[in-house]
Amino acid sequence: MAELLSPMRLRQRSPMANRLQSPTSPSFFLGSNDDQLERAQARAARAAASRRRITMNADHLPPPPPPPDPFLSKEEIIALLQTCIKLASENVLSLSAS
C-alpha cells in the first residue's frame, strides 16, 4: 500500500498530467468544423453498416421454403370426390324419406 502512495508513483504520473491540456490553453487546437464532410462520413458509415447487416443476415438465414403447390394432389381429389358422393347420397335418402 505504501508503494501506491509513494512520491515516486506521483512523479511517474505527472508526465501524463502534463500531456492533458484544457481547451483554454493556447496550444490546444481544434480542427475546422466541416458539417458537409461529417454528414458524408456519417452516411458512408450507415451505408457500410447496412451492407454488413444484410451480408451477415443473408449468411445465417436458411433458404426460403418453396411456394406451396396451388393444385390438389391425386389423393386429395379422390378423397374430396368420395366425400361429395357420400354427402350427395345422404341428401338423396333424406329427401325421399320426407
Q: In whole angstroms, what is the distance from residue 73 CA to residue 81 CA?
A: 12
User: Would you kindly state where each structural domain of the chain is located, as residue ranges?
Assistant: 36-61
Given this model, what pLDDT does residue 12 score?
54
Show the cell assigned to 13: 504520473
Q: Per residue in 42-70, pLDDT tens?
A: 999 999 988 887 776 666 777 778 888 78
Mean pLDDT by 10 residues, the chain (98 residues): 53 55 63 85 92 72 78 92 88 54
Given this model, what pLDDT does residue 64 score?
76
Name the average pLDDT for the chain: 74
Give the predicted TM-score (pTM) of the model. Answer: 0.30
Q: Which own/partner contact pairs does 27-32 have at CB distance under 8 Å and 24+ positions apart? A: none
Gap between the terminal Cα atoms of the chain: 108
